[in-house]
Amino acid sequence: MSEAIKAVVSVRLLSAVKATDRPFDYLCPQGEAPHRGQVVRVPFGKGDRDRFGVVTSVRREEPDRALKTVREVFPDEIGLNEELFALCRHLQEQIFCSFGEAARAILPAPVYKKNARRIRIASLADGTDPGAASAIRGKNKALYEAVLSHLLLSGETAVSDLTQTYGLSSAGIALLEKKGLIRVELRDEERDPFEGFAAEDCSDQPLSPEQENAFQSLKEQLDRGEACASLLYGITGSGKTRVMLALCDHVLQKGKKVLFLVPEIALTGQSATLLAGRYGKRVAIIHSALSDGERRDAYVAIRRGEKDVILGTRSAVFAPADNVGLIIIDEEQDQSYKSDTQLKYHARDVARWRCAKNRAMLLLASATPDVESYYKAKSGVYSLIRLTNRFGGATLPEVKVVDLRGDLRREGGILLGRKLRREIADNLDRQEQTILLMNRRGYRQFLSCLKCGEAIRCPNCSVTLTVHSGARRRLSCHYCGYTIPYPAACPTCGDEHLLSHGAGIQQLEEELNTVFPKARVLRMDSDTLTGKRTHEDILAAFRNREADILIGTQMVAKGHNFPRVTLVGVVMADTALYLSDYRAGEHTFSLLTQVIGRAGRADKPGRAVIQTLNPYHTVFSLAAAQDYEAFYEGEIAVRRAFLFPPFCRMGVLTLSDEDEARLLRRSKEATDRLKAYLAGDFSDVKLVIYGPFEAPIYKMKNVYRKRLIFKYKNDKRTRALFDRLLTETQGTPDGRGKVSFDTNPGMI
Ligand code: ADP
Ligand code: ZN
């Protein structure tokens, strides 16, 4: 090859959106020839600003025009492997994102922007005596002496700790070093992903006969070496985790990797604890709260093949592992598997694709499967494996659905009806623990004026402000965080008679304190998770019996094992039921079943009380009977009759803008454009269109939003139509007007 012929690479920018998604050509620096999937830094645009991108192809040719040159080629181990590269292409096609948006979800910025973190460590120089500080001139003598004594007693210490503890400046440290009293060196910091992580080993406990059967049939299926998917459907407490662990062992023995996904909240739950205990350092952990450095470490270690088990929340489905043999999605119905920020993917769909590529098994586990998953299992797309007994013969709790209307007529404004109060009192007497679910944050839902009737609203969002109690009595917006002190008078008319309505969890706390003054109550919602206090701390305190009653939003329902809990109360079961979402019934059923499942998991039988204003709604009696099958039969019939997934796909196109008039114009343009396609080039496409409507919360954070909702079939032609619509329906040049498309929206 002649000297003159250089490598030219096509690059897709990581920052591109759908409308700007195309490859750009660059020359490679002398001697460098990156390959497909590698990350590069390139000059871009008029100002030649730094941009990051992924190489999509490499050619040896004499360019016919002047090309800019790649500024930096990153090491291969932080790029995309062939599989993940293909995954970006697949997502581009399926969910209408740009290549860069998909690549960014797999390769978050810290992975390529961060270096291994170095820290400065100080130690005492040989033969130094803390008294030597007295020889230094200046007013800081005492400080220097303290630092030297510290090093004498504790040995090596991070410089940052010294400056923080003793208030010494870095100039002070430099002076000590210059005087030869201390040594400072740079070291790679070792980060321990397992810090603060509980581990429990259960490898010596044999499977029960039912669990063993489930394991054997999964193993058989897996050993065929073909792509397959299976639904492990087992009631709460049946030991699904044990079956999954046995299968992990088997896959690892074959030299393949396992991805183990858990819901957002359950990372410290039992599955994770057991996984950490069983496989120790072979496990990499991926979740949204990783520091930048930890994220990079995890990526590189997985890419190098140093980790066999990747445990994490939904984004762990993108882990750059080769040779994946099994992907497990625990509590597969959980909504946190659907991303509705930036890249709007569903972890289950990505997992399915990866399993197909790797000829691996996708294993979904749940006590209340997603209706779509169960439909697939029943129609043979997934194999269906059941566990029908609670381990060790524990019985399901006895559940009562209680009509709250009578109690409310007698004693207006209460949250705890007579039945639930009696049960709580019993439990307190017996020194057993209680969990109460109340799915509304704050104290009161809104505050309105008795004179003019206006409710106090958020200035940035089209919602009312929620009243919060406590030392800082205030009103705050749950969408944008806008907060004001509790007003003395109506901001609209100035009248002083303000009334709050709609109970929240803080009011429940207050009522418990009044009715059961001796009971120790612990509250868990996003308002109590402040600063360093995590939900793990709260759960640990409850597990250690530091409280008698745990009250919380849906966080308390998921995946936690509390042997001492024998009573579960659902304070307001109706709250989730009247959302406009077609899955409201499914979510309510699943939430109730899960929270009921928290009661009586050990030797003591459990009870549950569901309070409602609508006791005849079937979802309550079915949840009380833990009858998923019956629930499913009713639900799937409705979906079929009214055409909802799994019988079609749903898509939501959202246009947003800070300028309301411009938004109305843009949404009309988009609708007209779509109608023109359907009357012209795409007249063969069958599409049901609703809208444009205002989004359920029309204005959020000062941005107005309108939506078009679609029911469609996921075929090539329909995808081509959406692709065209989204390429032509762009954001505004000033960046304040945006477009997004969600193909499997979590909430409609
Ligand atoms: P699920 O995930 O199906 O709700 P778990 O896996 O949490 O059920 O199991 C319920 C309880 O039974 C847990 O406390 C677990 O430790 C225990 N358990 C399940 N299977 C076994 C087994 N084979 N040996 C010992 N304990 C078991
Ligand atoms: Zn707001």
Ligand 2 centroid from CA 481, angstroms:
6
Residue 570 confidence (pLDDT) above 80: yes
Task: Give the residue whose CA is nearest to atom 10 of ligand 1.
Answer: 237
Q: Is the pLDDT of residue 25 over 50?
A: yes
Backbone torsions φ then ψ of 379, nearest 5 degrees: -95, 15
Say which ligand is closest to the CA of 475: 2
Distance 525 CA to ligand 2 centre (A): 19
Alpha carbon distance 576, 622 (integer Å): 16
| pLDDT given for residue 748 in this prediction | 61
Alpha helices in 114-198 (DSSP H): 141-154, 159-166, 170-178
Statement: residue 196 has pLDDT above 80: no
Report CA(532)–ligand 1 centroid distance (Å): 31
Ligand 2 centre and the CA of 706: distance in Å? 17
Structure confidence at residue 188 as a pLDDT band (50, 70, 90): low
Q: Which domains does the chain have, with CATH numbers?
A: 6-107 (3.40.1440.60), 117-189 (no CATH), 209-393 (3.40.50.300), 398-443+503-640 (3.40.50.300), 649-743 (3.30.70.600)
More confident residue, 467 or 502: 467
Atom of ligand 1 nearest to the CA of 330: 2
CB contact at 8 A, 708 and 671: yes
How far does the centroid of ligand 1 lie from the alpha carbon of residue 239, in Å?
4
Residue 66 phi/psi, 5° resolution? -70, 130
Percent of the chain with pLDDT over 90: 52
Residue 710 Cα to ligand 2 midpoint, Å, equals 28
Average confidence (pLDDT) over 509-534: 86
Identify which ligand lies nearest to the alpha carbon of 212: 1
Among 211, 233, 242, name the best residue to mutate to test ligand 1's pocket (greatest count of ligand atoms within 8 A of Cβ): 242
651-704 pLDDT, tens digit per residue, is 999 999 999 999 999 999 999 999 999 999 999 999 999 989 998 889 999 999
240 CA: nearest ligand 1 atom? 3
Q: Distances from the Cα of 171 to the Cαs of 140, 167, 174, 182, 215, in angstroms?
A: 12, 11, 5, 13, 63
Of 69, 62, 75, 60, which Cα lies nearest the Cα of 25?
A: 69
**Which residues form ligand 1's pocket by a CB distance below 6 Å?**
205, 207-208, 211, 234, 236-242, 270, 391, 561
Indicate which atom in ligand 1 lies nearest the CA of residue 207.
Answer: 23
Ligand at shortest distance from the CA of 266: 1
Residue 563 CA: nearest ligand 1 atom is 14
What digits encode the pLDDT tens for the residues 363-415? 999 999 999 999 999 999 999 999 998 887 777 789 999 999 988 888 878 89
**How far is CA 68 from each of CA 24, 26, 62, 65, 692, rounded to the nearest angstrom?**
10, 5, 13, 10, 44
Confidence of residue 1 (pLDDT cuts 50, 70, 90): very low
Give the best-scoring range by mean pLDDT among 285-294, 471-480, 719-728: 719-728
Give the mean pLDDT of the chain: 88
User: Which residues neighbour ligand 2 (ion) by CB within 5 Å?
Assistant: 458, 460-461, 477, 479-480, 482
Distance 441 CA to ligand 2 centre (A): 15
Ligand 1, atom 6, residue with closest C-alpha: 239
Look up residue 742 and give its amino acid.
D
Helix, strand, coil fractions of the chain, as percent rounded to 5:
35, 25, 40
| pLDDT single digits (tens) 200-217 | 777 778 999 999 999 999
- The C-alpha angle 235, 240, 245, rounded to 5 degrees, equals 175
Q: Which ligand is nearest to the CA of 598?
A: 1
> At 522, is the secondary structure helix, strand, or coil?
strand
Bridge partner list, 12:
54
- Give the span between the Cα atoms of 362 and 353, in whole angstroms: 9
Q: Which ligand is nearest to the CA of 480?
A: 2
Distance from the CA of 401 to the center of ligand 1, in angstroms? 28
Those residues with Cβ within 8 angstroms of residue 642's Cβ, 6 or more apart along the chain or in another chain: 582
Distance of CA 236 from the midpoint of ligand 1 (Å): 9
Closest residue (by CA) to atom 23 of ligand 1?
A: 207
The amino acid at residue 542 is F
Q: What is the distance in A from the centroid of ligand 2 to the CA of 480?
A: 4
Shortest-distance Cα residue to atom 18 of ligand 1: 239
pTM of the model: 0.85
What value does the mean pLDDT take over residues 290-307? 87
Give 526 or 47, the one with higher predicted confidence: 47
Residue 182 belongs to what H/E stretch?
Answer: strand 182-188
Name the pLDDT band for 112 (thresholds 50, 70, 90): confident
644-661: pLDDT as tens digits: 999 999 999 999 999 999
- How many other C-beta atoms lie within 10 A of the C-beta of residue 110? 16
* Ligand (nearest to CA of 477): 2
Residues 734 and 526: their CA atoms lie apart, in Å, by 35
**Distance from Cα 287 to the centre of ligand 2, integer Å:** 28
Query: From edge to edge, which strands make up the β-sheet containing 607-612?
Result: 398-403, 607-612, 565-570, 433-437, 549-552, 521-524
**355 vs 82, 164, 226, 278, 329, CA distance in Å?**
15, 49, 9, 24, 12
- What is the rounded CA–CA span in Å between residue 588 and residue 582? 11
Ligand nearest to the Cα of 245, by number: 1
Atom of ligand 1 nearest to the CA of 234: 3
Centre of ligand 2 from the C-alpha of residue 5, in Å: 58
Q: Which two tokens stand for residue 92?
A: 């581009």
Ligand 1, residue 208: give the atom nearest the CA.
23
Q: pLDDT value at position 2? A: 46
Residue nearest to atom 22 of ligand 1 (CA): 207
pLDDT value, residue 423? 96
Residue closest via CA to ligand 1's atom 20 equals 239
pLDDT, one tens digit per residue, over 113-171 is: 766 556 788 888 888 887 777 777 777 788 888 888 888 887 888 888 888 878 888 88
Q: Is the dihedral of CA 436, 438, 444, 450 positive or negative?
A: negative
Mutate to test the pocket of ligand 1, among 241, 329, 594 (most ligand atoms within 8 A of CB): 241
- Would you say residue 425 has pLDDT above 90? yes
608: phi then psi, degrees, rounded to nearest 5: -140, 145
